Structure 1
């Protein structure tokens, strides 16, 4: 069990690392391919699209197969997706930046207007921006490969959590499961921390590092035309995912069950169903009944009021969390005048470690007080409410907007 927990922890680390690398590369990809923020948001959301396409099927059918090996296939798929995401860099030529910075032609005009910057002049050419100047066309359609790679990474990530957690639940002692899950999520939080720090480092490196003479580069990371080595992080993430897949190839399909399980695990339920079927019945079942059983199981799960309520709460929670996680670095760039590198560094160093500590402490508290479903629900509600109240303080922290004609005030004003 310890070997499986270690392998699963590393896979959690690799998937969160790769995901954070995408978040920290948003600005670099936007500049490199001349994309709008909405397009980059769609690219980032392709991960969830890939995940949603297969999550139900993988969770249902994967439980009937060799779960560690299914997770291994998922990790290999994540590695392939990360490598595909980095591929456009090697085929689209060197990055050519303009010799002068044209603020007025930027699709995101606020990118060079930092409300908290004390020494900043607003370019007068903002007054002359036309509608055609606000419309932006991608410099290359190679960004589609980034979208496909991110979607493939989402597909590969699918089996890790449902099959990994069910494997722990089946073969670990009941009182140890909360601690194991807390350890998983705590280690998983190291992924975003290292991911943002790696993103900060890559943002400092010029996009074509190793291919051009850096002595001829006249811009710095503080320049709005600067593009960092966004592709390097995806290569590292791909290698990490590949390494995470290897241990699962050598783990057994099942482990020795704890005595208190008494044939109540999902693994035993599936095994008992197989024993009740003759070979002929089993063969017929594969082709005629299995899809019907899948539909019945899905309907039964979604008709469970408690589970459906939890699902709706999780939907709202992750909807806000993903939006914050994706655009927080860009918000810090625009609101506080920080570089992409420094924004990623600050997020990785200050925001994420407390989350990991909180998850681990939550698991210990649940084990110490032996919380059931009701107790865990009350505990989660109280903590979520306190988090919500604390988050409201963000409305009182910020800077006044610059007076920009056509943006914050009318042209007549």
Structure 2
């Protein structure tokens, strides 16, 4: 009877049906129209976009979060690093055991968890009440009165800095814990997307189609960071309480260091998009019909018995045995050390790059995010694309890939040193960076907040409500500028008869001042343009070698250890780079703060003014100091690789039964495995 069915259906493969069904006659199941590899690829592309979008938006909102919760850079760095904590909690188990389960549903569960984390991150906005920025003019809710004429000097005589009894509840200083927990959940949810998604594609696609699938994944994924930073740029221009307060009463602008944009809207949007990305995976099966060419079908039939014997379920004992092999692989250990140094440098730099552009060049956070989204990220995408073409064209082995990665990275590093000389001078802030007579202050003991010109005003030295005098000098408040009268409302407030401006070394045409810090000069704008062009160029050069750098990990270990090597590698990167780098970079940046803000209830808030020279030296110095030694180790790595693989062929040859798909790629590195590592690497962008 079976033979009759087989003869009537020429498209049926009887031997495979008997084997797959254990020799029994099981009627074919109805397959959903969505149960095909193309639908899985579309769903995975969407999830890649969603996770990249969420991660990059968090990076773009770091400064907004720091100001909204009045915390230091080191604390906000800990919040940023909590994503890695969540990821490392489960990454090893997912990488080793995840393939045994229903991978699409595990990915769906991860997307839902990421969504919950994003929603949780936005929740503090609805619990904390309206944002009350630091000002000597009273609560922001009272700043919408009609035009007035009063003396800021007299208004500050009765200023009381004593915390109110209800300050603990009003301040909401510990609400940032919601962000930390939300980021941990995002990290846990993101873990299965890349390794399980890539392995699913690998299992059921033709080898010749895999590079195209991977290219689609990462092409779509690159739109995630671009969209995240662009949205961060747009929302940074909107006031945090938009829709809840009258923005005409606000006296600060997006250029002000007290300004907080509508950061919470982006996390609500990120949560919605991530939740939507989970839906398609629920309609996909645990396995699909594998796409194979005729040659591979023949190889599969010949090696079927061997394959069944060779496949074993993963065990804990086997896990530790494989881990031991990795620990004694000198090339793998050396590559770990190199990448740890470079990743520490990269993560610390990209986390605080918007803040650096703001403090160094006087740019708003909105513009800093915009520049990152339209200049740096496209340069990185182009670099990776052309680097991949070079790898394919010249078919580099282990040594060729090592040399390409070393040369491009070193050239980009040398070019990055120019940033030490592309900077702006400090703003002239009376009593902090210059004296009231306009003389530059070089030592902290020379900073004198008060002057004879404002001695009768009894001003507070803690408050930061800056005004720009007509003499080009910024004063911490209108009171400290000695202003006797004011007129106008909101951002249009102008102060008059300012005694400190009159007594300045370079007298102004009149003694007026307006709200905000004085803008930087045209020479600083030129420096900023040079900086942007330089950053785009060095990013492109560095990305040229990124493709070759990614595959070094896979080519320096034996084939059966590649999946575990990626998991262990990413675990160490997240533990020793992703978590600590934002924290200690933030701590170093805090050391260059010249003026700390004051919370509504007293105590130190977020930094309002940095020493531009110290910020540049500390920030770039730390970035350079961590990265420079890696090139010495990289050179040693190349020497070791030359001795171990004189022919430059990379990893040891694979057994015959594994030579089907893998032989398409040089020295045993498949495109899907390379892309799995690349996908994990892109999590930090």
How high is the TM-score relative to the length of structure 2? 0.49
Aligned to 1:333: 358
* Aligned 8 A contact 2:128 2:172 in 1: no
Aligned to 1:409: 443
Structure whose alpha-carbon radius of gyration is higher? 2
Deviation at 1:257, TM superposition (A): 4.3
* Aligned 8 A contact 2:426 2:433 in 1: no
> For the residues of structure 1 that align with 2:336 and 2:359, how far apart are their CA atoms?
34
- Of 103, 107, 121, the match for 1:67: 103
- SS of the residue corresponding to residue 245 of structure 2 reads coil
> For the residues of structure 2 that align with 1:47 and 1:158, how far apart are their CA atoms?
10
Aligned to 1:188: 221
Tell me, yes or no, if structure 1 residue 197 matches structure 2 residue 230: yes
Aligned to 1:115: none
Residues 121-167 of structure 1, C-alpha deviations (whole Å, 9 max, x = no match): xxxxxxxxxxxxxxxx9752110010000111011111112222223
> For the residues of structure 1 that align with 2:300 and 2:442, how far apart are their CA atoms?
65
Aligned to 1:151: 184
Deviation at 1:263, TM superposition (A): 6.0
Tell me, yes or no, if structure 1 residue 398 matches structure 2 residue 431: no
> For the residues of structure 2 that align with 1:384 and 1:337, how far apart are their CA atoms?
29
| Aligned CA distance change for structure 1 residues 76 and 307 (closer, same or farther; 3 Å) | farther
- SS of the residue corresponding to residue 445 of structure 2 reads coil
Aligned to 1:251: 284
> For the residues of structure 2 that align with 1:249 and 1:25, how far apart are their CA atoms?
32
> For the residues of structure 1 that align with 2:208 and 2:396, how far apart are their CA atoms?
10
> For the residues of structure 2 that align with 1:295 and 1:101, how far apart are their CA atoms?
64
| Aligned CA distance change for structure 1 residues 391 and 100 (closer, same or farther; 3 Å) | same
- SS of the residue corresponding to residue 284 of structure 2 reads coil
Deviation at 1:209, TM superposition (A): 1.5
> For the residues of structure 2 that align with 1:160 and 1:395, how far apart are their CA atoms?
39
Q: Aligned ranges for residues 258-277 of structure 1 at < 5 Å? A: 258-259=292-293, 260=296, 272=308
- For structure 2, the residue ranges without an aligned partner over 5 or more in a row are 1-36, 139-167, 435-440, 448-685
Over the aligned positions, Cα root-mean-square deviation in angstroms equals 3.1
| Aligned CA distance change for structure 1 residues 185 and 305 (closer, same or farther; 3 Å) | farther
Aligned to 1:48: 84
> For the residues of structure 1 that align with 2:50 and 2:275, how far apart are their CA atoms?
9
Deviation at 1:175, TM superposition (A): 5.0
Aligned to 2:147: none
> For the residues of structure 2 that align with 1:314 and 1:165, how far apart are their CA atoms?
22
Tell me, yes or no, if structure 1 residue 299 matches structure 2 residue 324: yes
- SS of the residue corresponding to residue 192 of structure 1 reads helix
> For the residues of structure 2 that align with 1:25 and 1:244, how far apart are their CA atoms?
23
Deviation at 1:197, TM superposition (A): 0.8
Moved more, 214-223 or 317-326: 214-223
* Aligned 8 A contact 1:179 1:364 in 2: no
| Aligned CA distance change for structure 1 residues 11 and 396 (closer, same or farther; 3 Å) | same
- SS of the residue corresponding to residue 50 of structure 1 reads helix
Residues 99-131 of structure 1, C-alpha deviations (whole Å, 9 max, x = no match): 3389xxxxxxxxxxxxxxxxxxxxxxxxxxxxx
Deviation at 1:383, TM superposition (A): 2.6
- SS of the residue corresponding to residue 236 of structure 2 reads helix
Deviation at 1:76, TM superposition (A): 1.1
Deviation at 1:373, TM superposition (A): 4.0
Deviation at 1:66, TM superposition (A): 1.9
Aligned to 1:313: 338
Deviation at 1:80, TM superposition (A): 0.8
Tell me, yes or no, if structure 1 residue 36 matches structure 2 residue 61: no
Deviation at 1:30, TM superposition (A): 0.8
More strand by share: 2
Aligned to 1:11: 47
- Of 231, 236, 240, the match for 2:269: 236
| Aligned CA distance change for structure 1 residues 179 and 59 (closer, same or farther; 3 Å) | same
Tell me, yes or no, if structure 1 residue 358 matches structure 2 residue 363: no
> For the residues of structure 2 that align with 1:361 and 1:367, how far apart are their CA atoms?
10
How high is the TM-score relative to the length of structure 1? 0.79
* Aligned 8 A contact 1:186 1:360 in 2: no
- For structure 1, the residue ranges without an aligned partner over 5 or more in a row are 103-136, 277-284
> For the residues of structure 1 that align with 2:278 and 2:196, how far apart are their CA atoms?
14
More helix by share: 1
Residues 38-68 of structure 1, C-alpha deviations (whole Å, 9 max, x = no match): 1001100101111111111111111221222
| Aligned CA distance change for structure 1 residues 304 and 178 (closer, same or farther; 3 Å) | farther
> For the residues of structure 1 that align with 2:137 and 2:370, how far apart are their CA atoms?
26
